[in-house]
Structure 1
Amino acid sequence: MTPTRLLRATACVVLPALAAAHAAPVASTFGPLRNRVMPRLSGRGRGDHVALTFDDGPDPLSTPLFLKVLAERQVHATFFLLGREAHQRPGLVREIASAGHEIAVHGWLHRPLLLRGPRATYDDLARARDTVGDLVGRAPALFRPPYGVMSTAAHLAARRLRLTPVLWTCWGEDWTARATPQSVHRTVVRDLRGGGTILLHDSDCTSAPGAWRSTLGALPRLLDTCGRSGYDVGPLRDHG
């Protein structure tokens, strides 16, 4: 076999293997499997607590309204911020932090990490972590990938940056144009259990325009439902 043919044959074996290794963590995207066998990644905590989390902010139009409801109900949450949005709205980031909410990162841009190589993945997470950390005066500890899709490169980058990946156990499907406050509440409650983590969105920067209004409308009712079930609601830092 000539060197060229040997190289091609090797590439035919090695490249698919590398691609498979890079994409292997995508299995965690399947919620029922993740919730059952990956409790740490799912955000499972103590049984009397539910973690409330928001993605895709901060947004100057919508995020202050969520902060107002949370303040009225004396509830804190974890906000997974996009680095670029945080960079553009530093005052709002500090407002979220000063209200006692936990600040985490959602990457710099809302793009699938599965399509990025190791260097681009690391740079994206590092830029988001450093930007948000500089704004609030401390490095964030938690990371949630866009679309909830992890890759091997994302796991390695998070470990290097001392970021813990956290996904969710239930969500509101609140990013669609057809979402309503009733549908958001119903979808969350369908999978809500003690020790779970709720995913909602306080911004429509990657959702249907105005989708956040359905989330905002559902929020008080969700908090009431958790209260009737005997669950404390708070950020992931209190989740055990």
Structure 2
Amino acid sequence: MQRLNLGVLREGPPRPGQLALTFDDGPDPQTTPAVLDALKAAGMHATFFVLAPHAEAHPALVRRLLAEGHEVQAHAARHLHAWVRSPWSAFLDPGEAARRIAAVTGQPVTLHRPPHGAYTLATILGQRTAGLRGAHWSVEGGDWQKGATPQGTVQALLPRLRPGAVVVLHDAGPGARVTVPMLPDLLRAMQQRGLRSVTLKELATHP
């Protein structure tokens, strides 16, 4: 199911110069502001898949995400791999996360990316019941991997970036230790290659 990702948003149309950077596991007041600063300096936008408890704990940071033109979507109510939770828990989590996050943002949540990008049938049914579309990625940043470094991550990512790509990184959690210091370099390199990050909504709908 994780490999098939039936009906899941994995990438957008290959319009010249456009791709989507996405960030999971925030918001975190210790790391997310640096990610926002880098995006603002580069004039780019991204989609943040946030955890409901973190959004509720840091509403001012969520407001900053929205005020600066970023998209806020649902990651989870509880950050558990779908394969180790009960079917009922996996079914309920997308809807619960979306409701709690929407209460913070004041906006509808339309996308859900389960933790680790792991799907079960219960996850998919939960998404559909809640009116959500699954959101995966086409390029794995690998910032969370043991031994990952900022410079190595940039070098590994650049050859895989192409128009329409959806890139997953982390603005919180273990991956943030790599993404926060490497992001300014990545964005500069993208600019040099004529690439810019837009939100998933813009990637999917902009003519």
Distance of 2:129 and 2:116 partners within structure 1 = 22
- 1:114-153 to 2 correspondences below 5 Å: 114-153=83-122
Equivalent in the alignment of 2:181: 217
1:186 equivalent in structure 2: 155
Q: Give 3-state SS (helix, strand or coil) of 2:35's partner.
A: helix
Shifted more, 111-120 versus 47-56: the winner is 111-120
| TM-score (norm: length of structure 2) | 0.89
Q: In 2, are the aligned partners of 1:172 and 1:183 still within 8 Å (CA)?
A: no
Cα deviations by residue, 1:92-147 (Å, 9 ceiling, x for unpaired)? 12221222110011111110112334421232112211111011111211111111
Q: Percent identity?
A: 33
Where in structure 1 are there 5+ consecutive unaligned residues?
Answer: 1-24, 29-33
If you compute each CA radius of gyration, which structure gives the higher value, 1 or 2?
1
Equivalent of residue 45 in structure 1, options 1, 4, 13: 13
Describe the SS at the equivalent of 1:239: helix
The number of equivalent residue pairs is: 203
Corresponding residue of 1:231: 195
Taking CA–CA contacts closer than 8 Å with sequence separation of 6 or more, which of the two structures ends up with the larger relative contact order? 2
Gaps (5+ residues) in structure 2? none
* Conserved? CA contact 1:169–1:191, under 8 Å: no
TM-score, normalised to structure 1's length?
A: 0.78
Contact persistence 1:44–1:169 (CA under 8 A): no
Deviations 1:153-175 (A, max 9, x none): 11111111111111111122111
Note if 1:167 corresponds to 2:136. yes
Secondary structure of the residue aligned to 1:203 is coil
Separation in 1 of the partners of 2:160 and 2:178?
A: 19
